[in-house]
C-alpha cells in the first residue's frame, strides 16, 4: 500500500459530526481490525475506529501488517481466524478472492454498488479509499511546469531527468496515454503484442533520462534535491512533502487511480459483526472524515458533499482532478504481469 505520513493534527472533533446509528447487538464487546499502520491507520483510527467505538460501544482492537497476504492465509489455514476485518490492496483482494480466503460480501447489507466508484466493489471486498499515481514537479524551481502527461516524455520542452517508479505497472499506461491512446483503450492495447511494443517504444524515448525510484518516499526526495525536473509519485507523498514546506504541484491529467478494500478473512469468529463494522466504515460521512487527515478520496459518490472544500482540492477523486483519469486494472496485471515484468527487466538491462 502506498501511503504517506501527514503532519496534520488528528483532532477528535469528528466524533461530534458523524452519524450515531443505533448500536448493533452482538455477543462481543470488541472487534479486531488489521491495517497498514503509519499515517493511514492513524487517519482510520480517528475517522473510523474511534467513532465506531463511540457509536456502538464496541471497542476496535487494532493490528498492523505490511500488506502480506501470507499472514492472512496462514491464519485462515490454521483454522484460527483471530482478525475480524482486514484492509487490503487490490492485488491482495484479487488473490485472496481467487484462493477463497475471504468471505463473500453481502452487498444488501452494505449499500448500492452503483454508488461506488469504478473498480472499488468486489464479490469479497468493499472499497474504502482511492489514491493515485500522478506526475509531479517542484514549482519552486520550475515556474512553468508540465500540464499534461505527454510533458513527461518531452525532453525538448522540459530538459532534465525524470523520476519513474521501477515497475512496469503505471509506466506502460502512462506511455500509451502520452502517445495518444484514449484512457478507455489503454488496456485493450496493452493486451496485444503491438500495444506492449508501442508502450516500450515510448519509454525508449526517455530511457536515458530516467532516474528510477522504488520506495514511495524517494519520489519527493528526488524533486527536493533537484535530481529530477519531474517525477511520477503517489499523491499522498506529494501532499506530505508540501506539509513539510515544499512547493510541489501535481499534474492530475491522466492520473492512475487505485484503491484499498475491507475484507473479512474466512472463518472470522462473528461475520455479522465484521459486516456491521464495514457497513459503518463506508458510510458517506465516515468516508469523508478520512479526508480530514490524509488525502485519499472516498469510494462513494454520496460522500462528496461531506468533504470540506479545502480537503477536496487535494483528493484524486475531486471532480476538478478527475479530468482524464485511468483506473489501474489490477486484474490485467494479475493475468499478464509476470510476462510483462520479464520483458521490463530485460529492457532495463539493455
pLDDT of residue 1: 57
* CATH 3.40.190.10, the chain: domain bounds: 13-130+258-312, 132-257+323-349
- In angstroms, the CA 255 to CA 323 distance is 9
132-257+323-349 classified as CATH 3.90.870.10: no
**pLDDT < 50 positions in the chain:** 4-27
Closest CA to 172 of 153, 155, 156, 154: 153
Residues 6+ apart with CB under 8 A from 245: none
pLDDT of residue 254: 92
Residues 6+ apart with CB under 8 A from 327: 118, 119, 256, 257, 258
User: What pTM, to 2 d.p., does this model score?
Assistant: 0.85
Measured over all CA atoms, what is the biggest interatomic distance in the chain, rounded to whole angstroms? 66
pLDDT of residue 20: 39
pLDDT of residue 25: 42
First to last CA, the chain: 30
Return the HEC string of the chain: CCCCCCCCCCCCHHHHCCCCCCCCCCCCCEEEEEECCHHHHHHHHHHHHHHHHHHHCCEEEEEECCCCHHHHHHHHHCCCCCCCEEEEEHHHHHHHHHHCCECCCCHHHHCCHHHECCCCECCCCEEEEEEEEEEEEECCCCCCCCCCHHHHHCCCCCCCCEEEECCHHHHHHHHHHHCCCCHHHHHHHHCCHHHHHHHHHHHHCCHHHEEEECCCCHHHHHHHHCCCCEEEEEHHHHHHHHHCCCCEEEEEEEEEEEEEEEECECCCCCHHHHHHHHHHHCCHHHHHHHCCCCCCEECEHHHHHHCCHHHHCCCCCCCCCCCCCEECCHHHHHHHHHHHHHHHHHHHHC
Q: Which CATH superfamily is domain 13-130+258-312 in?
A: Periplasmic binding protein-like II (3.40.190.10)
CB 32 within 8 A of CB 277: no
Amino acid at each position: 500500500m502506498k501511503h504517506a505520513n501527514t503532519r496534520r493534527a488528528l483532532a477528535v472533533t469528528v466524533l461530534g459530526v458523524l452519524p450515531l446509528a443505533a448500536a448493533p447487538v452482538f455477543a462481543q464487546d470488541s472487534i479486531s481490525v488489521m491495517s497498514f499502520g503509519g499515517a493511514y491507520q492513524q487517519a482510520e483510527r480517528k475517522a473510523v475506529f474511534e467513532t465506531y467505538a463511540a457509536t456502538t460501544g464496541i471497542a476496535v482492537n487494532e493490528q498492523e501488517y505490511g500488506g502480506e497476504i501470507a499472514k492472512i492465509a496462514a491464519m485462515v489455514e490454521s483454522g484460527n481466524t483471530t482478525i475480524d476485518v482486514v484492509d487490503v490492496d487490490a492485488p491482495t483482494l484479487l488473490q485472496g478472492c481467487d484462493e477463497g480466503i475471504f468471505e463473500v460480501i453481502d452487498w444488501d447489507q452494505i449499500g448500492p454498488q452503483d454508488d461506488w466508484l469504478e473498480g472499488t466493489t468486489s464479490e469479497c471486498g468493499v472499497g474504502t479509499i482511492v489514491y493515485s499515481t500522478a506526475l509531479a514537479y517542484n514549482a519552486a524551481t520550475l515556474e512553468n511546469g508540465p500540464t499534461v502527461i505527454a510533458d513527461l516524455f518531452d525532453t525538448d520542452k522540459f530538459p532534465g531527468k525524470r523520476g519513474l517508479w521501477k515497475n512496469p505497472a503505471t509506466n506502460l499506461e502512462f506511455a500509451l496515454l502520452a502517445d495518444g491512446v484514449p484512457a478507455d483503450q489503454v488496456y485493450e492495447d496493452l493486451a496485444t503484442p503491438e500495444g506492449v511494443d508501442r508502450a516500450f517504444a515510448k519509454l525508449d524515448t526517455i530511457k536515458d533520462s530516467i532516474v528510477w525510484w522504488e520506495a514511495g518516499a524517494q519520489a519527493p526526495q528526488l524533486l527536493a534535491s533537484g535530481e529530477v525536473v519531474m517525477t511520477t509519485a503517489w499523491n499522498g507523498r506529494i501532499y506530505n512533502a508540501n506539509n513539510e514546506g515544499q512547493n510541489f504541484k501535481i499534474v492530475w491529467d491522466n492520473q492512475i487511480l487505485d484503491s484499498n478494500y475491507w475484507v473479512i478473512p474466512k472463518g472470522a469468529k462473528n461475520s455479522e459483526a465484521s459486516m456491521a463494522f464495514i457497513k459503518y466504515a463506508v458510510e458517506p460521512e465516515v468516508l469523508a472524515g478520512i479526508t480530514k487527515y490524509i488525502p485519499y478520496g472516498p469510494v462513494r459518490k454520496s460522500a462528496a458533499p461531506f468533504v470540506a472544500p479545502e480537503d477536496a482540492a487535494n483528493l484524486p477523486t475531486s471532480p476538478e482532478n478527475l479530468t482524464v483519469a485511468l483506473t489501474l486494472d489490477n486484474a490485467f496485471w494479475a493475468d499478464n504481469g509476470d510476462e510483462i515484468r520479464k520483458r521490463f527487466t530485460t529492457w532495463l538491462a539493455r
